[in-house]
A = this chain, B = another copy of it.
Amino acid sequence: MKNLTTSGVRDVTLDKNGFFGRFIDLVRDSVIPYQWETLNDRVPDAAPSHCIENFKIAAGEAEGEFYGYVFQDSDLAKWLEAVAYSLMTRPDPKLEATADEAIALIGRAQQPDGYLNTYYTVKEPGKRWTNLRDNHELYCAGHMMEAAAAYYTATGKRELLDIMTRMAHHIDSVLGPEDGKLHGYPGHEEVELALVAMYNVTGDPVMLKLAKYFIDERGREPRFFDIEAEKRDGHKPRWRDPGDYAQWHKPVREQDALEGHSVRALYLATGMADVARETGDETLLAACRTLYENLIRKRLYITGGVGSSPAGERFTFDYDLPNDTVYAETCASIALCFFMRAMLRIEPDAKYADTMEQALYNTCIAGMSLDGHNFFYVNPLEVWPEASHKSPEHRHALPVRPKWFGCACCPPNLARLIAGIGKYIYTTDGDTIYTQLYMSGEAKLSLPSCAVTIKTDTDYPKSGKIAITASAGKYALALRIPAYCRGKYSVSLNGAPVDKQPERGYVTIDREWTDGDTVALEIDVSPRRVYANYHVRADAGKVAIARGPVVYCLEEADNDTPLAGASLSSSSPLTCEYKPDKLGGIVEITADGSVAVDDGDDSLYRIAPPPKKPTKLTYIPYYAWANRGEGEMAVYIRED
């Protein structure tokens, strides 16, 4: 099995004015500082965090009670991880000093035996490891391990790495296959992928052993969470927990679809791929492929969103993709990017990068407002604001992004994804460089035979033109050709057409390069109509518009309403126009359609359909919605 390297965050310098430059700047200049203030409870109108205070209390440096969710510690972890990525691309001694202080506090909150968790240390000191199912000890440890690995990579400072190594060894002393240990695994997966991240930095075999154990043990009979619940409650559980909410319904290799809580499911899948890669476990890789194929054929929203139901923030069943009651948590699409990156490290196949790009350019960045101050948890594909306010089934699908959340998982998760975006752009396999994403900037990549500098100049996804300038050396450049262009692309090398068929979605140019050689790739990003499989009830008779990787939507601010009464003419051209001053600069798409109108008949039922009038439909990128106040939004409308 392959074990590809990805570009490191510090290897990639993105252009400030490229498409992602704005998001990275927002994270650096707005999200990271703002989040630090919230962690310290210094934002008066935001939900209280108490996160730093919890650590202080655990360290014996403050009085008080633990406050917050059992996973409150993870907010600080995700912040530290985002800080680490930010420091890799733009040193900031003041920020680093702040992070160092936080890490020192974490160290003081760690218990003598290596245990680290403020909830149990402060609130239930005698109850450690008694409720792995619900109480997120391993989850919090996982996030802090990810932060530790990233912070060490960013700064070379070992303190957090050592803290979390001690914690990993403590976990190993409590959990594992050996007699006398708990044969358990986390109720919320995360530590598996984090242990592999620590293993990749430290080489400590205990990390990999633990990660593999958690993966292998999950869902086996007798089921640990049943045993744990009986021990905790003093009696057998009154009903058999199906276990699918947290993916312990069967051993992971027997699972054939992502089930249950979507973030859990995708963190697990990422951990499975990571362990498969590091151990060469083909059966685990096969399971990952199966989960992926089911996902993209039956359970993925066009926006790269996942999780069809708010009850359990979960997957439901094949082809169940409601547009309005959907959950599609921002964190779940972020987790999908993690999973895809993990798969790309095992097998270069453009389909994984296509899916990653689909999640990234749509649901992930829709999670944040264009000014970086407001965040969505839930990313619906259709919003009727009155329903969001008044219908219990739609209450979770907000029409505008709130400022912050009591359960603040999504904003810091988005921060670490965006700040660390350099990790997702390239993979290298020997002397082959795969371009998985196209972003303007420069990357320095070390190949076995040479060090390479790749310069990318593009306004993608505004256009599909990508100019790549290579540095000298003998290596291969494998250019991802996104499936959405359906073969409409061209590649040239120093002006001469390259006539090669893509393999697994990549056109590979393998040669001895000279400094300044240029590759011009043009991908067709002209707008297209997209229809869902006929099994998808919610989209029957409807059409969506996409352009390149970007899915579009209609907003009330630009269109006649109700959007449910609008339809796109099947014969209409889709006209694109770049609007530099609209929503941070977007390619707007207009088309001809019709919309139902009020003819004065106020009866609820009638024998003639409501009349229609022609209307101009104006589409904007989905990620830019809900930046102009409250209104209706729809990705799909009818076509006639």
Chain A contacts to B: CB under 8 angstroms: 296-298, 300, 302, 308-312, 316-317, 320, 322, 325, 384, 386-387, 390-393, 486, 528-538, 540-541, 543, 562, 564-565, 567, 596-598, 601-610, 638-640
List 16 extra interface pairs beyond A312-B392, A638-B638, CB under 8 A.
A296-B604, A297-B602, A297-B603, A298-B604, A308-B391, A309-B393, A316-B390, A317-B390, A531-B605, A533-B601, A533-B604, A534-B565, A534-B596, A537-B564, A541-B541, A541-B565
- How far does the Cβ of A304 sit from chain B's closest Cβ, in whole Å? 11
CA–CA, A312 to B392, complex, Å? Answer: 9
Q: Which residue in chain B gives the minimum CB-CB distance to A606?
A: B531
- How far does the Cβ of A255 sit from chain B's closest Cβ, in whole Å? 16
8 residue pairs, one from A and one from B, having the closest CB atoms: A311-B392, A534-B610, A537-B564, A534-B596, A540-B564, A317-B390, A531-B609, A540-B565
Instruction: Tell me if B486 and A607 are in contact (CB < 8 A).
Output: yes
A597 cross-chain contacts in B, Cβ below 8 A: 534
A317 cross-chain contacts in B, Cβ below 8 A: 386-387, 390-391
- How far does the Cβ of A155 sit from chain B's closest Cβ, in whole Å? 43
Instruction: Tell me if A638 and B541 are in contact (CB < 8 A).
Output: yes
Q: Which of B298, B537, B604, B638 contacts A540 (CB 8 A)?
A: B638
9 contacts between A and B (CB under 8 A): A297-B603, A298-B604, A317-B390, A320-B387, A322-B393, A325-B325, A531-B607, A533-B602, A609-B639
A309 cross-chain contacts in B, Cβ below 8 A: 391-393
CA–CA, A609 to B606, complex, Å? Answer: 30
- How far does the Cβ of A333 sit from chain B's closest Cβ, in whole Å? 16
Q: Which residue in chain B gives the minimum CB-CB distance to A384?
A: B537
CA–CA, A537 to B607, complex, Å? Answer: 17
CA–CA, A320 to B387, complex, Å? Answer: 8
CA–CA, A567 to B534, complex, Å? Answer: 13
- How far does the Cβ of A584 sit from chain B's closest Cβ, in whole Å? 26
CA–CA, A65 to B481, complex, Å? Answer: 71
Known: A308-B391, A325-B393, A391-B309. A533 touches B320 (CB 8 A): no
CA–CA, A562 to B534, complex, Å? Answer: 8
Pick from A298, A567, A605, A607 the residue with the most CB of B within 10 Å: A605
Instruction: Tell me if B541 and A604 are in contact (CB < 8 A).
Output: no
CA–CA, A638 to B637, complex, Å? Answer: 13
Instruction: Tell me if A530 and B606 are in contact (CB < 8 A).
Output: yes
A387 cross-chain contacts in B, Cβ below 8 A: 316-317, 320
Instruction: Tell me if B320 and A390 are in contact (CB < 8 A).
Output: yes
CA–CA, A71 to B567, complex, Å? Answer: 49
CA–CA, A439 to B533, complex, Å? Answer: 48
Instruction: Tell me if B607 and A528 are in contact (CB < 8 A).
Output: yes
CA–CA, A420 to B242, complex, Å? Answer: 45
CA–CA, A462 to B596, complex, Å? Answer: 34
Q: Which of B298, B302, B320, B531 contacts A608 (CB 8 A)?
A: B531
A541 cross-chain contacts in B, Cβ below 8 A: 541, 565, 567, 638, 640
CA–CA, A392 to B311, complex, Å? Answer: 6
CA–CA, A82 to B628, complex, Å? Answer: 58
A605 cross-chain contacts in B, Cβ below 8 A: 302, 530-533
Q: Which residue in chain B gives the minimum CB-CB distance to A391?
A: B316
- How far does the Cβ of A635 sit from chain B's closest Cβ, in whole Å? 12
Q: Which residue in chain B gives the minimum CB-CB distance to A298?
A: B604
Instruction: Tell me if A311 and B604 are in contact (CB < 8 A).
Output: no
A298 cross-chain contacts in B, Cβ below 8 A: 604
CA–CA, A534 to B316, complex, Å? Answer: 31
CA–CA, A436 to B426, complex, Å? Answer: 76
Q: Which residue in chain B gives the minimum CB-CB distance to A538?
A: B564
- How far does the Cβ of A191 sit from chain B's closest Cβ, in whole Å? 28
CA–CA, A106 to B152, complex, Å? Answer: 77
A604 cross-chain contacts in B, Cβ below 8 A: 296-298, 300, 532-533, 536
Instruction: Tell me if A610 and B531 are in contact (CB < 8 A).
Output: yes
- How far does the Cβ of A432 sit from chain B's closest Cβ, in whole Å? 28
- How far does the Cβ of A310 sit from chain B's closest Cβ, in whole Å? 8
CA–CA, A530 to B608, complex, Å? Answer: 7
Known: A534-B596, A537-B384. A391 touches B606 (CB 8 A): no
CA–CA, A241 to B544, complex, Å? Answer: 41
CA–CA, A311 to B597, complex, Å? Answer: 31
CA–CA, A275 to B601, complex, Å? Answer: 33
CA–CA, A320 to B308, complex, Å? Answer: 21
Instruction: Tell me if B598 and A534 are in contact (CB < 8 A).
Output: yes
A486 cross-chain contacts in B, Cβ below 8 A: 607
CA–CA, A607 to B547, complex, Å? Answer: 12
Q: Which residue in chain B gives the minimum CB-CB distance to A321?
A: B604
A296 cross-chain contacts in B, Cβ below 8 A: 604
CA–CA, A606 to B596, complex, Å? Answer: 27
A310 cross-chain contacts in B, Cβ below 8 A: 392-393
Pick from A384, A486, A543 the residue with the most CB of B within 10 Å: A384
Q: Which of B391, B540, B598, B607 contacts A529 (CB 8 A)?
A: B607
- How far does the Cβ of A636 sit from chain B's closest Cβ, in whole Å? 11
CA–CA, A223 to B399, complex, Å? Answer: 33
CA–CA, A179 to B138, complex, Å? Answer: 61
CA–CA, A610 to B311, complex, Å? Answer: 31
CA–CA, A181 to B529, complex, Å? Answer: 68
- How far does the Cβ of A567 sit from chain B's closest Cβ, in whole Å? 7
A297 cross-chain contacts in B, Cβ below 8 A: 602-604
Instruction: Tell me if B532 and A320 are in contact (CB < 8 A).
Output: no
A536 cross-chain contacts in B, Cβ below 8 A: 604
A607 cross-chain contacts in B, Cβ below 8 A: 486, 528-531
